[in-house]
Structure 1
């Protein structure tokens, strides 16, 4: 998160806060599109009660830090991404209980199980290190690139280690919830978020860079919060192995986001240069002595 902060500029953050069109679109997508997608998938796939509850909780969660990382991968607007994640966490303090209350009447007590402490912690873990990165980029810009490269390296190594250890720890329980309905819902929900977030941003005439950012913010949920809510809201004899649902979801979410990032990078590699850019280059070349 410090390395992501090194990609941000104070002037651009102020611009997004003073003209919060992108933030408003992202919040609309995060707290309308994703909850309705989760609700619709639970109905269409006829999931069992506890499976539907897990999916609804996931759909009502705010955006997470993964959206910032994948926004960097697709060359999105990092200033907008961090501002959106922060606003999403703050709005989620009120919207999560409201959405869970509206969408989950069949799950008594679920509307009171929102971990406010966990949301505030997630907000602090986003803002504080990003603030450090912003300070580095503002006062010591020559060190920004070094910090960014170090951050990406640490992320890749730690991600591989944590994924391997998680699989070893829960592999025996994980297969108990690998069912067609769960896998289908886990695959379709982030894909729907990525797609509709981008389409909504394009219709609202955001720039391509901002549209890609909103797409990632919409499709990437804060899975850690989902895990906490599942463990707090349901006793072990009720939730059973379904508390591992977020692990399946985050695996498919990351796989889809990585695939989109790879496709975008390949497209950038093969696309022809813009005509205006080539003409400007020729004019500059002619003027050179």
Structure 2
């Protein structure tokens, strides 16, 4: 998070706050598309009771800090990403109770059981280290590159380790104890979020880096917050294997995002090589055209 702060500039942060077009699009996608997607998938797979509630809680959660890490890997707009996640987390204090009240009518007291302290803690974990990174970039820019390189290396190592640990720890368990419909939803929902985030931001003509940023913010939910709500709201005996749902959702969220990052990096490298090749091929022709006299020549 400190390395992400080192990519940010105070002037650009102010611009995103004063002209919050990208932030507004991300908030609408986060609290409009994802809860509706969770509700629609719950109905489509005919989920009942706690299974539907667990899916809805995942869909109603704000964007997590992991969306910032993915935006960094996708060369997104980090100033926009951090501002979006901050606004999403702050709005979660009011939007999550409202959304859970609207979508979980069968559980009337659920919206009162939100772990507000954990939401505030998540906000602090985003703002404090990013603020340190911003100060480093502003007052000691020569050290910012060092933090960024260390951050990217740490990011790659952490993503690989997290995916492996989640798969090793739960791979033999969640396939047998979780309902197949829940696993299918965990696969489908993040990709819908990534796709709709990109499509909506394209319709509003954001630039390409901002589109990738909004896509990551929309598709990434705060899975730690989902797990905390399920733990606070329901006794373990009632939840049973459903307590694993946020972790499985997070596993597919990370895996699908990693696939998108790899595809983007391959495309970027291929497009860059093609551009260099085209320039090398066209250079002699451009030189020949430049040497030609313009207009009719008098003998």
Question: Which of the two has higher C-alpha Rg?
Answer: 2
Question: What does the per-residue CA deviation read over 1:57-106, in whole Å, with 9 as the maximum and x for residues that have no partner?
Answer: 00000000111011011111000000000000001110000000000011
Aligned position for 2:275: 273
Per-residue CA distance 1:181-240 (angstroms, 9 max, x = gap): 011100111111111111110101111111110000000000000000000010111111
Alignment partner of 1:273: what SS?
Answer: helix
Residue by residue, what CA displacement relative to the aligned partner does 1:117-136 show, whole Å, maximum 9, x if unpaired? 11100000000000000001
Judge conservation of contact 1:198–1:214 (CA < 8 Å) in 2: yes
Q: Which residue of 2 aligns with 1:98?
A: 98
Counterpart Cα distance in 2 of 1:19 and 1:219: 23
Aligned twin of 1:207? 207
What is the TM-score of this pair, normalised by structure 1?
A: 0.91
Structure 1 position 57 matched with structure 2 position 76:
no
8 A contact 1:30–1:218 mirrored in 2: yes
The question of 1:23 aligning with 2:19 is answered no
Question: What is the match of residue 243 of structure 2?
Answer: 243
How far the C-alpha of 1:170 sits from its partner, in A, is 5.4
Partner residue in 2 for 1:196: 196
- Separation in 2, partners of 1:198, 1:170: 31
> How far apart are residue 262 of structure 1 and its match?
1.0
In the TM superposition, what whole-angstrom CA distance separates every residue of 1:142-182 from its partner, at most 9, and x where no partner exists? 11111112123333444555555556665675344333201
What SS does the corresponding residue of 2:114 show, helix, strand or coil?
coil
1:18, distance to aligned residue in structure 2 (A)? 0.5
Q: Which residue of 2 aligns with 1:78?
A: 78
Deviation readout 1:231-259 (Å, 9 max, x if unpaired): 00101111112111011101101111111
Gaps of 5+ in 2: 291-299
Which residue of structure 2 lines up, in the alignment, with residue 42 of structure 1?
42
Distance in 2, matches of 1:142 and 1:111, equals 47
SS in 2 for 1:105: coil
Matches within 5 A, 1:256-271: 256-271=256-271
Q: Distance in 2 between matches of 1:101 and 1:246?
A: 20
CA distance in 2, matches of 1:256, 1:162: 14
Q: Which moved more, 1:34-43 or 1:199-208?
A: 199-208
Contact 2:51-2:242 within 8 A present in 1 as well: yes
Cα RMSD over matched residues? 2.4
- TM normalised by structure 2 equals 0.88
Q: Please say which of residues 160-169 and 23-32 is displaced more in the overlay.
A: 160-169
Structure 1's unaligned 5+ residue stretches are none
**How far apart in 1 are the matches of 2:263 and 2:49?**
37
Counterparts in 2 of 1:109 and 1:20: CA distance versus 1, 3 Å: same
Q: Deviations over 1:240-282 (max 9, x none)?
A: 12111011101101111111111111111112439xx999xx9
